[in-house]
Amino acid sequence: MATSAASASTATPTTSTVSPTPSVPLPISHLSEGANPFVPIPGMEEASLKIFQSQVLLPFSLSDGSMHAFLGPFSNPSKKKTHNDLLPEDDSTLPFVYSPTIDLSLFSDTAKMFRAFPPPKDKHIQWLEHIEASKQSIWKEAGIFDFVQLSKYDLNVFDPQMLLSSVFFWNRETRAFEFPCGFVCPTLLDIVAITRLKPLGDRYLPDTLEEEIPMTETSIVWDKKTYSTFVSAHHGEEGTPVTDSEHIAFLLYWLSACVFCTPSLQVPKYYYTLAQALHLKKKICLSKLLLASFYNCLDEASKSLFRETGPRNLTGPLWLLQLWLNAIFEKKLKLLPLQASIRYNLEGARLTALTPKKKIC
C-alpha cells in the first residue's frame, strides 16, 4: 500500500500528465523535485466526493495541524479471497476462548508425560569428559563445542506447571504464543543466545548427505539402543584413545538424548548421518534444525493436550522451552544467593539455574 505525504496547506504541486490509455489522461502531482508522486483528488460532485474520500483517502493530521492522507484503495468485499495463503487455517485448532473446562486430573503424572526430557547429567558426564579430552578441537571446528557443554548442566530439571500452562497459549496457525502482551515466539537469535550455536551454516539434508563412513564399518552396537545400555556399550575405558566409532556413538547419544529427545528413549539410526557429519567437522547449521524441531514439538504438544482421551507423552526439545521461558520471565524467577553468585560462560547454563525447583507429581 502506497502512502502520500501531500499537504494541502503548505505544498504547491507541479503537475505532469501520464496517459495509461490514449483516451483517459491520469494527472500525477509532485510536491517537489525528487519527492514521491501522489494522485490529487479528482473533480466530482459532492456526493461522489464523499464516497471517494471514505473509500480511497484515509485522512490523518500532524501535530502542527496539517492534513495528510494515506491512499487506499479499499478492496471490494464481494471480491475478497476467503483462502488465506499467508496464514493457512487449521481446522483442528480450538479457539482460545472455549467452553469445555480443562480436566486438570489429566496432568497428574507429569513425570511420565515429560519422560523424554534429557537424562540427568550423571548418566553421561564421565563419557562426555572422556570424549572431550581428545575431540574438543573437532567440536570447536564444527561449531558445537559450547552447545555440548550445556549437557553438563541440569537440562533434566523442569517445571511441569510452567510448561503445560505455556503450551495452552500456543497457536498452531500463527506458530506463536498468544499471551496477553501480544504474539511471542522463539526465534533463531534466541537459539543462538541460549546455545551459542551459529545462525549460519550448511543446510542439513539427510537424503543427499553422503555416508562417508559406512555404518557397517563402525563398531556401534545397535541392539543396545536404550540410553543407559548404549552408554555402557560404547563408553571406552579411561586412558584409552577415543576411536572414530566411539566419537560417532557419543554424538548419536547426545543428539538423541540431550538435543532432540526422541520419544522412544532410544538411540535411533536416523541420526547417524548427522553425527557422522559433525564428526567430519562439517559446519551443519544445527541452530535452524533445532528451531524447526522446537516448533514441531510445540505443535505436537498443543495437539496432545487437547485430545479427548488425555495427553500423550510430550517429546522433542522441550528443555529448550523451559530455558526460553526462564529467559522471558526471568524477573519473576528468583535465584538462591549461591546461584546468583556463580558466573556462567554460557547463557543456557545460567538459565538452567532459574528453573523453579518444584516437586513433580
> What is the per-residue pLDDT across 127-180, written as a single tens digit (0 to 9) for each?
999 999 999 999 999 999 999 999 999 999 999 889 988 998 898 888 999 887
The answer for residues whose C-beta is within 8 angstroms of residue 358's C-beta and 6 or more apart is 159, 160, 161
* Assigned C-alpha cell, 296: 514441531
Distance CA 167, CA 258 (A): 21
* Assigned C-alpha cell, 289: 534444525
What's the gap between Cα 128 and its chain centre?
A: 27
**pLDDT > 90 in the chain, percent:** 46
* Assigned C-alpha cell, 300: 505436537
User: b/e per residue, 51-62, with b = 16+ CB within 10 A?
Assistant: eeeeeebeeeee
The answer to whether the beta carbons of residues 358 and 161 sit under 8 Å apart is: yes
| 99-137 confidence digits (pLDDT tens) | 456 666 666 778 888 999 999 999 999 999 999 999 999
Query: In this structure, what DSSP letter does residue 31 have?
Result: S
Nearest of 220, 209, 227, 226 to residue 274 by alpha carbon: 209
Task: Please tell me the pTM assigned to this model.
Answer: 0.71
